[in-house]
Amino acid sequence: MQISITSSEQAQIQRFPWIITIGTPLLAVILQSYVPIHLHLFSILDLPLLVTLVFSVARRSPVGGVFTGAIIGLVQDSLTHQPLGVFGISKTVVGYLGSSLSLKLDVENPGSQFLMTLVFYVVHQGIYLFVARGLAEEALQLNWGHLPIAAVINGLLAVPLFAALDKVKQAT
């Protein structure tokens, strides 16, 4: 596993074709909504989180990460019965931290991508729980037994997702 430190000057801001920029998050939200009604185990994945993280890290733009996280999170909130903003805030933080981290560290390595996704998944769940209970006054509890397994599975899925997006990105 290699995590090397790079300077901000070395890091390039990456862009994606607009069809990928809009289509991938939309597809992630649709799959997250549709597949669990037939395959319940699928709900252990958090595709919108993975897309937020992958886009934020690959773009290396904190502002882009903030807006990517906020928009995906708010769309995800709209599909739940909770107030808007619970997923929005969590994913905004993940988007900002992910893109900021990518400016400081080289996260091209699959091992570091896995580790980073694993950590961010736990961070996301922690922020989500804090916002839901502390701000939205929802009497919500997390299934803590699921958390490590879900973090590992999401981390594993993130690696091919990073690789797939790596092929379509356009350096500027």
Partner 1 sequence: MEVIHRHRNLTIFLIVLVAQVVGLAVQVKRPTDRGSTRLVRFWAISLVTPVGQAMVHAQGWVADLWRNYFYLRGVRQENQRLQQENLHMRLEQVRMAEDAGQAQRLQALLKFKEQFISETEAAQVIGSSGSETSRLVYIDKGARDGIKPDMAVITPSGVVGKVVRVFPATAQVLEINDQSSGIGAMLEKSRLQGILKGTPAGEIMVHYIMTDEKVEPGEAVVTSGGDRIFPKGLPIGQVVQVSPGPETFLNVRVKPAARLDRVEEVLVITKVDERQREIVPEAPRRAADILALRLPSIQIKPPAANPEAPTSSATVPPRSTSPPSTGAGASSGASVPNRKTTENTASNDGARGVNNGEPQKAKVVEPKPAGQQHDTQTKENSQ
Binding footprint of partner 1 on the chain (CB under 8 A)? 26, 29-30, 32-34, 36-38, 40, 43-44, 47-48, 62-63, 66-67, 70, 74-76, 78-89, 92-93, 96, 100, 128, 131-132, 135-143, 145-146
**Which two structure tokens, joined as six digits, stand for 48?**
């919108």
Which residue, 83 or 110, has its beta carbon nearer to partner 1? 83
Backbone angles phi, psi at 15, to 5 degrees: -125, 155
Residue carrying the six token digits 């969590």: 90
At closest approach, how far in Å is the CB of 128 from partner 1? Answer: 8
Contact in structure between 66 and 96 (CB atoms under 8 Å): yes
Which residue, 4 or 143, has its beta carbon nearer to partner 1? 143
At closest approach, how far in Å is the CB of 97 from partner 1? Answer: 9
Contact in structure between 54 and 158 (CB atoms under 8 Å): yes
SS3 26: helix
At closest approach, how far in Å is the CB of 164 from partner 1? Answer: 21
At closest approach, how far in Å is the CB of 150 from partner 1? Answer: 8
Residue carrying the six token digits 């928009």: 71
Which residue, 85 or 110, has its beta carbon nearer to partner 1? 85
